[in-house]
A and B are shown apart, each in its own frame.
Chain A
Amino acid sequence: MEAPVALKVHDDDNVATIFSSGLTAGGEVKVLDKKGNAAELTLISDLPFGHKAALCPINAGESIIKYGEQIGVARKAIRRGEHVHIHNLDSMRGRGDLSREETA
């Protein structure tokens, strides 16, 4: 069976979006970029349809990039193949909680 596909939307991205259901840790996915180049990625987390996996190690505080743009910052170190979502990605916008801390 052909490996499930993940999409890397922009060359600068450090995450890819998975478009298969029921993928689990240890699973192999084929990461396609816009030019159709394929690369292998081994998942180290379970991943639901439409969620993201890290394409390389991302240090805490580093930008998480999709569409070639920052979509957030790593709250903690993220390993290659790990699920990237709200548990380890901090949004930088609409953060009334942060401005409250700044002014406190």
Chain B
Amino acid sequence: MKITGYKRGDGRFGARNLVGVIPSVVCAHDVAQAVVSQVQGSVGFFHHQGCCQLPPDLDRVTETLIGLGRSPNLGAVLVVCLGCEGTDHKRLIEAVAQTGKPVAAIYIQELGGVAKAIAAGIDAARKLALAISGQQREEADIAEIIMAIKCGASDSTSGLASNCVIGYVADKLVDLGATVLFGETTEFLGAEHILARRAVSPAVEKKIYEIVARMEARAKSLGCDMRRGQPTPGNIAGGLSSIEEKSLGAIVKSGTRPIQGVLEYQESALGLKGLWIKDTPGREPEILTGMACSGAQVMLFSTGRGAPQGFPSMPVVKICGNPETYEHMENDMDLNAGVIITGQKSIEEVGEEAFAKLCRVFSGEKTKNEAIHYFKAIDIYTLGPVI
């Protein structure tokens, strides 16, 4: 099977051809939002970071925004700056431009305020949208895919149906020379020994235990039982009793292939092959950003209770393992893996359907969350306090 995508200056293929409007700081949101609402084919990344944070977090925010901007799914980028933020906006603009895509920037303070900045931003984004609008899709190999995977609003069908389907696709993509990223370090707790056995080297094995210990220490730092935070009330209502049970079901989606290494939250996966872990929390706004900033062009997302959200620049395919939820929330679910629970289809059969769906979505078919623009709540995972 072949896919089609937009070939970029750096040789990567994009599944979409969007103008990314990136606020360098939370205070530039309103201007960026006004621009996105006016310019067809543009998407905004409305995170809440970029100022009054400790330097490691500011570096992380800069790196994450660079990764989002470099994503092959963006044909052009407009950076919206306030002018006094902690993010390194100059480096952001330069690093995105290095990919060869057109980049523009506006500064709200320099332009004389919000209304003037909105006018300048719309004009800049309009020009970028027109400049890239003629680009045509070209045929590309499956190996060009960087697929992110994730489960959210899980219940006990997730580990037995939808995550198995994603695991099937993950193995298939790795075998075809593509790249697969999985994260949700919190959901390794109680299952890390199984993942560690799949590490390609003792160093990677050690790193897996390290990121789990780091995440667990963070969860324990407030001196309470983390249940209700993880698993969530929805997970618990769906039958998941502990993080261990949730984790054992969650890791199924990583398939069975060797784990090549562990990436930090803001790190790029461009140029890497095979299955990789990305150290992220489980919550959607942060992990989806972490995956998109790696360069992932598509995501398979498993759910049991019905998580509808996507991501501005990365199509997210919802695979529902719970047959009752699928029936009830079909408007937001792209694929029914509940037929595995009801015994109508095998994991392999639904796995092939998911693989075909992934290829079609990469090549332009819209996901349900893209069609309804349900992807605006995003954020960047930071470690220190806001000060």
Chain A positions within 8 Å of B, measured between CB atoms, are 7, 9, 17, 19, 21, 48-52, 64, 66-67, 69-72, 84-86, 89-100
How far apart are A99's CB and chain B's nearest CB, in angstroms?
A: 6
B191 with A69: CB separation less than 8 A: yes
Interface of B: prevailing SS: loop
How far apart are A49's CB and chain B's nearest CB, in angstroms?
A: 7
Within 8 A of A (CB), among B206-263: 216, 219-227, 230, 236-239, 241-245, 248-249
Interface residue? B160 (CB, 8 A):
yes
Q: Which chain A residues lie closer than 8 Å to B239 at the CB level?
A: 17, 48-52, 85
Partner of A89, one of B194, B230, B237, B242: B242
Known: A86-B227, A91-B243. 12 other contacts (CB 8 A): A17-B239, A50-B156, A50-B238, A52-B239, A52-B241, A64-B241, A71-B190, A72-B242, A84-B241, A85-B241, A95-B225, A96-B225
Partner of A19, one of B194, B225, B341: B341
B245 with A71: CB separation less than 8 A: yes
Q: Which chain A residues lie closer than 8 Å to B189 at the CB level?
A: 93-94
What does the 1/0 interface line of B148-185 toward A look like (CB < 8 Å)?
Answer: 00000001110110000000000000000000000000
B227 with A91: CB separation less than 8 A: yes
Partner of B225, one of A50, A51, A91: A91
A96 with B249: CB separation less than 8 A: no
How far apart are B42's CB and chain A's nearest CB, in angstroms?
A: 40
Interface residue? B30 (CB, 8 A):
no
B156 with A91: CB separation less than 8 A: no
How far apart are A77's CB and chain B's nearest CB, in angstroms?
A: 17
B216 with A9: CB separation less than 8 A: no
Q: Which chain B residues lie closer than 8 Å to A52 at the CB level?
A: 156, 239, 241
Interface residue? B324 (CB, 8 A):
yes
How far apart are B76's CB and chain A's nearest CB, in angstroms?
A: 43
Contact A50-B304, Cβ < 8 Å, known A96-B220, A96-B222: yes
Q: Which chain B residues lie closer than 8 Å to A69 at the CB level?
A: 190-191, 194, 244, 248
Q: Which residue of B lies closest to A52 (CB)?
A: B239
Partner of A96, one of B160, B223, B243: B223
Interface residue? B369 (CB, 8 A):
no
16 contacts between A and B (CB under 8 A): A7-B160, A21-B324, A50-B322, A51-B239, A67-B159, A71-B244, A72-B241, A86-B227, A86-B236, A86-B242, A93-B242, A94-B216, A94-B243, A96-B221, A97-B223, A97-B225
Q: Which chain B residues lie closer than 8 Å to A94 at the CB level?
A: 186, 189, 216, 219-220, 225-227, 230, 243
Give complex CA distance A19, B230 in Å: 23
> Which of A50, A86, A96, A98 counts the most B-chain CB atoms under 10 A from its CB?
A50
B156 with A67: CB separation less than 8 A: no
Q: Which residue of B lies closest to A47 (CB)?
A: B239
Q: Which residue of B lies closest to A66 (CB)?
A: B245
Q: Which chain A residues lie closer than 8 Å to B155 at the CB level?
A: 50
A92 with B244: CB separation less than 8 A: yes
> Which of B186, B221, B245, B249 counts the most A-chain CB atoms under 10 A from its CB?
B245
Give complex CA distance A9, B238 in Å: 17
